[in-house]
Amino acid sequence: MSDSSDVTRRDFVLQTAALASMLVGGRLPLGAQGPVASQQPQPGARTMWYRRPASQWVEALPIGNGRLGAMVFGGIERERLQLNDSTLWSGGPSNWNNPEAPAVLAEVRRLIAAERYAEADAAAKGMQGPYTQSYLPLGNLYLTFEHGDLARGGYRRELDISNAVASVRYKIGATSYARDVFASYPDQVIVIRLSADKPGMMSFTASLDSQLRHSLASDDGVLKLIGRAPANVDPSNHDQAVPVVYNDTEGMRFETHLAARATGGRTWIENGELHVQGADEVILRLAAATSFNGAARSPGREGRVPGPIAAAQLRGATDKSFDQLSAAHVADHRALFDRVSLELAPAASSVATPVDVPTDERINTRGASDPALVETFFQYGRYLLIASSRPGGQPANLQGIWNDQVRPPWSSNFTININTEMNYWPAESTNLAELHEPLLDFIERLAANGHTTARVNYGARGWVAHHNTDIWAQTAPVGAVGAGVPVWGDWHGASGWLSRHMWEHFSYGGDMAFLRDRAYPVMRAASEFYLDFLVMDAKGHLVTSPSASPELRFKTPDGTVAALSAGATMDRALVWDLFTNTLDAAERLKVDADFQQRVRDARSKLIPYQIGSRGQLQEWATDFVEQDPKHRHFSHLFGVHPGHEITRDGAPELFAAARRSMELRGDLATGWSMAWKINFWARMLDGDHAYLLLGNLLKPSGSSQTISTGGGGVYPNLFDAHPPFQIDGNFGATAGVAEMLLQSQNGELHLLPALPAAWPAGRVRGLRARGGVTVDIEWKNGAVEHYALSARTNTTVRVRSGASVTEHHVRAGDPMLVRVSGAG
């Protein structure tokens, strides 16, 4: 082992049990002799709470088990749980490919080569397929209590994100009421406990409804909603005469089942409602299932039968007590959630937030200057991923799994020109790698469909996918075959960007079988598409054509505004990233020597980055002017983040140009864009700027002043505001905070690479780095005091901390604690 001169190390091997004992209630102990001994745990950082029921959807609190989700409103007289099932989508598999596209492609390329960009845009519409289908709401559960709504104080509604339980407490007359709600992954049901501190006080009516076609039924004490989804739902931005179409044979079928078990009192079902009269306590269980039977099968004609599935889930849960259900749920959630803890000591200048300030007031008055709110926001992203993405299920969509509209914004689909990818940025780094699996499975489904699209639409090998997709894994450019807009619809980079997720899963986890059997085939085929698709420009460089920089148009000197040209920087960055990772994979697997040579040759001929007249990294091959200089996308900086091609030491001029580009873009944007900017500035190693962006995001939505900001921020329930709600900003922000504290993209572990002055002391435990290492860091006065490394296999890592670089051999299962010299 080698130590650099300004760091002395005192390594000692902690037994696993000893390391585990450092955990007290999920937090590292703040011992008297500890480096941040004066720091108190931030009060209430793991509970979001409110003094009033939710009056709108973005105030309600989300729960979910990856598939089944609910927004809990916490009304006093009337509780509403708005319900979702992640598999409930409109439509079914269809043929979205366009056999006319290859001829159009040739024409589009000809127009681009002749610099007739606007005409190329118009022609490219001829390559499009249909729009994607929409993610749909399951319905609502309403509980109408007989006690009226005159709560005389004591009302509190909260979401405990460490236990994944939403609760409501209030007092009416002399009786205190309590409601606890969770969505269980082990038992696949939503569980609600309703109790009062006096016997016989629980009287209410429960009802189910849905915006989709449905009927109600009951059977043996179970209230059932039996529904059918439309065969087609057009996106909200594509208004057709009949945008929602039902069909007798096509369309997903679904059922929601509800049962009550009361202690005392009387329970019965009548006229489609479940009644409870005079009970002491009631446990409600809600199950749901759809006919979704895989992306390739019609949910109407070849679907699973949802009724028996929901019934079996409900039966399984009915055999268990509330305590059993609750214990299994909490243990399951904590096994994921507790892997990472973050504690930030406030800067001396900031005033500690009193414990009794509700979350919405904290957002309104404190924002990022409240370290407890930052901790909550960081952990909330992890909470939301646990609640919306579980192995075997669907990936988190634009709204995770929470949607109350039949025609939701952007169809609440998977937008894969950044948004879906952003959802998964925190998966590996914040120690939730198995929650990445729904996306990885989905990428394989896309790759299968994308082979056909590559062949039919482009006459190319490999696989391709465009900017939008849905549960049916649609891979063609969208746009109702000619009505779409090329600035987003004709972007073809998703196979490149998504392949990076397969690679990252391997980079963090080191599973060679995964690399060989799953990641490499996807990456290889994505590379194959680009080997076929790239064309030589007049200067002898390989470029993509057509090529769009999502979702920004350029202006030519003659005033033409257009989207498509050849060799947009993002495509170059994506293809370089894809080729580089594919080569790395092939070398490790020792396969495909000839193919490797072809990829290497092509990579060496890719159009180089260029620095434009404003010192910026050029967004297009020509130094065009942006139609909107403050645009939310900054895809041309992909090589900084999430890529790793442009680094301070590896490419200082490009690094400076990228910084300049972002200065020109500005610090305000829609929510997800600001989340991306946190990550970008962390990669620029500028913690204060990253913190500024975190502050811009952690503001009430609508408080931003200019139009180009789009009013991004957060809602009272801390959901990210695009606006409207879009969950990517939550996940992106969580990833961004992790990126400020630990980076590992350059073959070394960089501790506190972008620590802002606002966080002078703190500790983070359980972050993951590429190379299979888990990292704890404790710091004070802005400098690392000590860190701990652990790994599942023996490994050697370089650790950069401040100006020093140290090499460590980490032995499997032997956590290593390193104290930096000068530390107390």
Q: Which residues bind ligand FUC (CB under 6 A)?
A: 398, 410, 415, 419, 488, 551, 632-633, 670, 672, 722, 726
- DSSP alpha helix (H) spans, 389-493: 419-423, 425-429, 437-458, 486-489
What DSSP character marks residue 25? T
* Nearer residue to ligand FUC within complex by CB, 728 or 776: 728
Q: Which lies closer to ligand FUC via its Cβ, residue 680 or residue 759?
A: 680
Task: Pick the closer one to ligand FUC by CB: 130 or 712.
Answer: 712
- Of the pair 632, 641, the CB lying nearest ligand FUC is at 632
CB of 388 to ligand FUC, least distance (A): 16
Q: Which is nearer to ligand FUC, 307 or 712 (CB)?
A: 712
- Nearest residue relative to ligand FUC (C-beta): 410
Nearer to ligand FUC (CB atom), residue 100 or residue 628? 628
Nearer to ligand FUC, 410 or 530 (CB): 410
145 touches 276 (CB < 8 A): no
| DSSP H or E segment with residue 800 | strand 795-801
- As measured in angstroms, the least distance from the Cβ of 468 to ligand FUC is 8
The least CB distance from residue 631 to ligand FUC, in Å, is 9
| Sheet containing 795-801, strands listed edge to edge, beginning at the edge strand earlier in sequence | 742-743, 749-751, 795-801, 804-810
CA distance 585 to 779: 36
364-371 long-range contacts, CB within 8 A, separation 24+? 364/700, 367/695, 367/698, 367/699, 368/691, 368/694, 368/695, 368/697, 368/698, 368/758, 369/695, 369/758, 371/42, 371/344, 371/345, 371/346, 371/759, 371/762
298 to 91, 218, 264, 289: CA distances (angstroms) = 8, 28, 46, 16
CA angle 165, 159, 354 (to 5 degrees): 140
- Comparing CB distances to ligand FUC, the nearer of 136 and 525 is 136
Residue 562 CB, shortest distance to ligand FUC, in Å, is: 18
* Closer by beta carbon to ligand FUC, 603 or else 632: 632
Instruction: State the Cα–Cα distance between residues 320 and 193, nearest whole angstrom.
Output: 13
Nearest-angstrom CA–CA distance, 288 and 188: 9
End-to-end CA distance of the chain: 24
Residues contacting 32, CB < 8 A, separation 6+:
none
The nearest distance, CB 723 to ligand FUC, in angstroms, is 10
CB 550 to ligand FUC: min, Å: 7
Shortest gap between Cβ of 709 and ligand FUC (angstroms)? 12
Q: What are phi and psi of 102, to 5 degrees?
A: -60, -40
**Smallest distance from the beta carbon of 777 to ligand FUC, in angstroms?**
33
Shortest distance (Å) from residue 451 CB to ligand FUC: 25
**C-alpha 313: how far from chain center:** 27
**Of residues 672 and 691, the one with the C-beta less far from ligand FUC:** 672
DSSP of 768-792, one letter per residue? EETTTEEEEEEEETTEEEEEEEEES
Minimum separation from the CB atom of position 280 to ligand FUC (A):
48
